[in-house]
Structure 1
Amino acid sequence: MVTPGEYLSFLDARLPGLVAGAHVYGSRVLGDVVHDSDLDIVIELSAAAELPSMDGADVAVVLAGSLEKPVFDVTPLAGEITPVLWQQLRTVGQTVRGTRPTCPGTAADVEAYCRDNLVSYWKRLFDRVRVMPDLPGHDILWVGLGPARLWHTIRTGEIVSKSRAGELAAARWPDLPILDLVAARRDPSVPLTSSHLRASVELFDRICGEV
């Protein structure tokens, strides 16, 4: 599992003097690190350059100063940036190099992004999932817990981890075996079956009906 320090040392050796800022988000700051968690990090460069890739690092790259602008005014050098990312960076993100960013944005921006993502990404994905007899366990985790995060953010404005979103969805719909997904995320030996895939589809339909 890659640490921020290891990743910065890797970059500094290959791009000396260019890494002006580094900001961690995702599972590391949301208390949900599991065995296969990537390092989610935003890198600020003092000049445009191509970052060398490193297994286990999920990276968005921007020019230094970009994190002081609204997300819609920034074109990343690499990776994806969203209003949800901006909110994480300004609220729970951990700055490991440089100045803590302001990442200006509004709750309305975050909600609109989440609602659009439910349709533009997740609905299209579930249209395919519905006709699949089964999926590998890690894919069931992805489709089962991902929409729950959006559901919670749309309702409350809060950004939570996959595991926490699963716990909240399980409390809302206790008839679905969502806690099994949370357990499997934390312990890969917990089995997931086609019944969990069907429950994930049902959960998605209920989320769409509610929000």
Structure 2
Amino acid sequence: MTVWQQAVFQYRSLADSQRHFVLLGMYLVGSIALGEFRNNKSDIDAVWLLENEPTRDEVEFLANRHLGSASHAPPYLDGVYVTLHRLKTPAADGLPIPFVVNGVFSGDKPCGDLNPILRQCLIEHGLTIFGAQPSTLGIVADRTSTGNWIRSNLRSYWRSWMAEAKAKVDTRQPDEELNAAALSWGVLGVSRMAATLETGEIIGKSAAGEWAMRRWPEWAPVLLPALDERAGHLKHATINQGREALAYMDYIVTRFS
């Protein structure tokens, strides 16, 4: 049994022993659904389908259930607790729902992970742990909405991320080392966005890096280290590689946002 299978089995065993709270389904999305789970790098991304909007007491119950089953170290069992109505109602995405990020449960905040990308990944790639198949739930994967969300995300999250990264890189000496994981996160993160905008498909980070290599071979010196880190072969990068990575990211964000 793999690391992620053990975590899911533990959660489901606890849920099965607490049947007074109804879950209609549990689905895996993200790297597992896309066939790109990497030990020590990936988290376990889930969608838990609720029968009804939870009361305050039920949210507390979910928090305790999650605390009783989740790992306190990566890979974290992350995801959203959501009703089918909310999955079918994108206009309500800004309203609070229970969710987990990096193993931390939140019950009364808006969740950025409930978005068109999650819906499309769930419908087209979701792995059913229990419940009805995603394709039978009546959820619409609107690729136009996915594209609009990605462009907004490039302008907001990724522009901000790049500005913070540049500020840090600019303070470092040329001979200092850079955490290759940060380089990989940025380079492959925006590559995924570009791939979805051009192809309409949701793909994993490694697949996105390979796609970008074919699409823009002139950026191979940036993409290859990112792919090496993703594969577990690179721990440190140079400051110059970091600057080149930010130049690539700026190229992608400017081109697609």
Using the size of structure 2 for normalisation, the TM-score is 0.74
SS of the residue 1:200 aligns to: helix
Pairwise CA RMSD: 2.2
What is the identity, as a one-letter code, of the residue corresponding to 1:149?
R
**Which structure has the larger Rg over C-alpha atoms?**
2
Say which of 206, 209, 213 aligns to 1:166: 209
Counterpart in the other structure of 1:142? 185
Q: 1:173 to 1:205 in 2, by over 3 A?
A: same
Report how many residues are paired: 210
Say which of 100, 104, 125 aligns to 1:92: 125
Counterpart in the other structure of 1:39? 44
- Offset of 1:150 from its aligned partner? 0.7
Residue 152 in structure 1 maps to residue 195 in structure 2 = yes
| Paired residues for 1:10-159 under 5 Å | 10-13=14-17, 16-36=20-40, 37-47=42-52, 48=54, 49-50=58-59, 51=62, 52-53=66-67, 54-55=70-71, 56-67=76-87, 69-73=88-92, 75=95, 77-79=97-99, 80-100=113-133, 101-133=137-169, 135-159=178-202
| Paired residues for 1:179-198 under 5 Å | 179-198=224-243
Gaps of 5+ in 2: 100-112, 173-177
Higher strand share: 2
Q: 1:15 to 1:126 in 2, by over 3 A?
A: farther
Comparing 3-12 with 137-146, greater Cα deviation is found at 3-12
Aligned identity (percent) is 28
SS of the residue 2:4 aligns to: coil
Comparing 107-116 with 189-198, greater Cα deviation is found at 189-198
Using the size of structure 1 for normalisation, the TM-score is 0.88
- Contact map agreement 2:23 2:49 (CA 8 A) in 1: yes
- Contact map agreement 2:190 2:253 (CA 8 A) in 1: no
What is the identity, as a one-letter code, of the residue corresponding to 1:171?
R
Counterpart in the other structure of 2:103? none
